[in-house]
Structure formats: C-alpha cells, structure tokens
Amino acid sequence: MKTRVLILAGGEGTRLGVLTAKRTKPAVPFAGKYRIIDFTLSNCVNSQLFDVMIVAQYRPHSLIEHIGAGGPWDLNRDFTGGIRIYTPYKSPGSSWFVGTADAVQQNFSFIKRGDPDLILILSGDHIYSMDYSGMIRFHMEKNADLTMATIQVPIEEAPRFGIVGTNPDQRVISFVEKPKQPPSTLANMGVYLFNKSFLGRILWEDHLRQDSSHDFGKDILPAVISAGERVYAYPFTGYWVDVGTVLSYWKAHMDLLDPNPPFNLHNRSWVIHTRSEERPPVKIHQGAEIENSMICDGCVIERGARVIRSVLSPGVHIQQNATVFESIVLTDAVIEAGARLEHAILDKRARIGEQAIFGKAIPDQTTITMIGKNSVVAPKMVVEAGAMIATDVIPPDYPTQVVKSGEYIQTRRLPYEL
C-alpha cells in the first residue's frame, strides 16, 4: 500500500503569544535546537514514510527556510517521494484556507497525484514520537475508511480536545469536539489515516455544505461517524503534547528536564532530525553554576552566572552573576550581568539589561513572562510575572521602569522604522 503524508502546518498559533508574531506555530523553536515540526517530520522518516506534503498558510517563511529541500530528514528526493510545501493560491473559486478540511480539499488535486492508496494527515505542532506503521497495519486489519489516533488524557484537560467514544472493537461510535462536560477521557490526537477515495468523497461533500466551517474536528468527524462509516480509534500510549499554549509549551520543556523525562531525546533508535547551523562549543567560565539544564552549542556562561532548570538555544550569552531559573531562552538572546530571569520565555535576540528582573517564579507555576524577538529590557527595569513584551521593543517604548503583571508592551515605532 502506498501512503502519502500530509502535514498541516498553517496554524497562526495566537495562544503562543509573541512566539508566533513572526512565524507559524510549527516553526517555533523547541528543546533548544529543534523546531516543533521536526518531531512530526522525524516520526515520518523513522516510520519509513518518505512521501511528504506540507500545507502552510500563516507566516510560512521561517518554516520554508528551515525545511529547505528536506535534506536533514532524508526527504530531498525527486523520484521516490520527497517533501513539497504548498501555500494558498488565488484562482477562481479558491481563497485563504478557512479550516483544516478546507486546506486539504483545496490541495486535493496535488494529494491524489501519483495515486496513493492511503493519506496520513498529521498536525505539525505536536511533540511526540510515534511509529505510524503500527497505525497503518491496524487500519488495514480493521478494513477501515478512516482511522484516528487517540490517547487518554486527564479529565481536567479533556475539554480542550475532541472526545471519542468506541465499542469493544475500537470502532468509533461517538465524537464531540471540545465538550464542556466530557463523556470520557479518550482524546483525538489529530492524526488521521484515510483511504484516498473516501477522503476525496467526504471532502467534496463537506465543501458543498454552506453551513460547514470545513474543519475535521467540528464537521468531518461528526458527519462520518453519524453516517455509520467505518471509523476506528487507534490507541496510542506514549508521550504526546499539544504545545499550543504558552503554559503547555513551557511545561513540555520542563518535562525534558525531569530526572526521568517522559520524552527521550537521547533515543538513538528514534532520532529527532533537524536543520542546524554550525556553532562553536559551549563555553562555561570558572565559577559558573549549571544545574539540570539543556545548553546548546555557541552558548557562553560567564563567571558567577547560574542556570537552573532551563533550556538555552544556540548562541545564548549569560553574563557575570546573572541568574536564569526555569526559563526557555531562544537563539542569540543575552542576559546581562546581574540580571535575573525566572519562569520566562525569551525569543531570539532578546536582551535583558544589567540587574534587571524579568519574571518571577509563582507557586502554582501557571504564570509565564515573555519577550518577543529583538526586544530589549533596559538595565535595572522590573518586568513582573505574567507581563508580555512584544517584538522589536526598545527602552524608549516603556512608559515606566516597572512593567506590571498582565501588561502588554508594544513598540511605538512605525513598521517602516523597524
């Protein structure tokens, strides 16, 4: 059976705050050296699936540059699969994608080219490792039209997901999208395996419905299940997280720092591939203290600096006597001498001035302080827990030396001045 993979990577990701101000959610850096989409792409190639399409929409430039011709994932192929990226185009009857199903339907002429038997539809914004070959075997054994991967989630998190009901044979008999009172804790993972002809038919039927939002969770799944189509739930029991919110993104990083992390980045039989630039080795000065952290190439940690339970991307510079605690610091950011960073996320090239205080650890661990790309916090400023600094903010943009919790600071410059 010939399987073609389609990765949906067009999400705006507004719940990730400043991290998606200039990039699509799947292109957001993760775990120091990776992008979020690397995990889905690596699952594909580790499952021996090398025919991959990516559908992009919102701010795709960073994603396109990262993937390139697909070399790091062994997807730079011309005749035996390879990777292709599709973005919306304007033609009679087409427009911007209005839902996940619409994104697939508008590209279906490309999807069916070469006559694949199965279409595996994935999200490009989840962190997990999964061998899709087991799901493909399950699909064939059940003679399914559609197989959807499912996972058990805590009852308090269930309202965030589509909730699935099954019979003893794993056939799906009910589905409700993001219910306020979940009937179970079996959640939809957004991993779908379709027979190609079945997918083409239901997409067209949904396309013709004027009352549809053209979304898999809201429209397609309820329709095919209520119609009695052969839909089955493939049970997944590994680590899986939708890093679609600031808190889930931060917590997923903290998971990696546990003594026994639920996700193993060091598994040599399941390598997470990525594109990375050459950087010099990490330089740690005498007297620096590093505890339970992940430090990427090119980082410099000076004398007296402390890095505790944090993740530093390439090129981060921690100056003398600065402290970084339970924080995520992205590429080429700088923490100047004596500054303190707690429960924070810094985007690329952000800078925290000397003796500034940025964020604070809150006992319930639900308040994260953020700063966007290229932004600067002046020396001795205080940015309270839960504040957010947008991209390209410089010291004259701050009305006071203290940014209160919940405040959102933006640049006062015009776009052409940036």
pLDDT in tens, 89-144: 655 555 667 778 888 988 899 999 999 999 999 999 999 999 999 999 999 999 99
The per-residue pLDDT for 211 is: 87
Q: What is the CATH number of domain 3-256?
A: 3.90.550.10
The mean per-residue pLDDT over the stretch 386-399 comes to 97
Is the pLDDT score of 286 beyond 90? yes
Q: What is the pTM of this model?
A: 0.94
The per-residue pLDDT for 416 is: 64
Is the pLDDT score of 302 beyond 90? yes
CA 361 to CA 250: how far, in whole Å? 13
Let me know: does 81 contact 34? Beta carbons within 8 Å: no
Phi-psi region for residue 132, left (φ > 0), alpha (ψ -120 to 50) or beta? alpha
Is the pLDDT score of 368 beyond 80? yes
What's the mean per-residue pLDDT of the chain?
94
CA 334 to CA 102: how far, in whole Å? 42
The per-residue pLDDT for 67 is: 95
The mean per-residue pLDDT over the stretch 326-336 comes to 98
Q: Which two tokens stand for residue 88?
A: 């919306």
The mean per-residue pLDDT over the stretch 388-406 comes to 97
Angle, CA of 114, 85 and 79, to the nearest 5°: 40
* Fold (topology level) of 283-417: UDP N-Acetylglucosamine Acyltransferase; domain 1 (2.160.10)
Let me know: does 365 contact 339? Beta carbons within 8 Å: no
The per-residue pLDDT for 62 is: 93
CA 359 to CA 79: how far, in whole Å? 51
Domain ranges of the chain: 3-256, 283-417
**Which of 219 and 414 is assigned the larger pLDDT?**
219
**Which of 89 and 221 is assigned the larger pLDDT?**
221
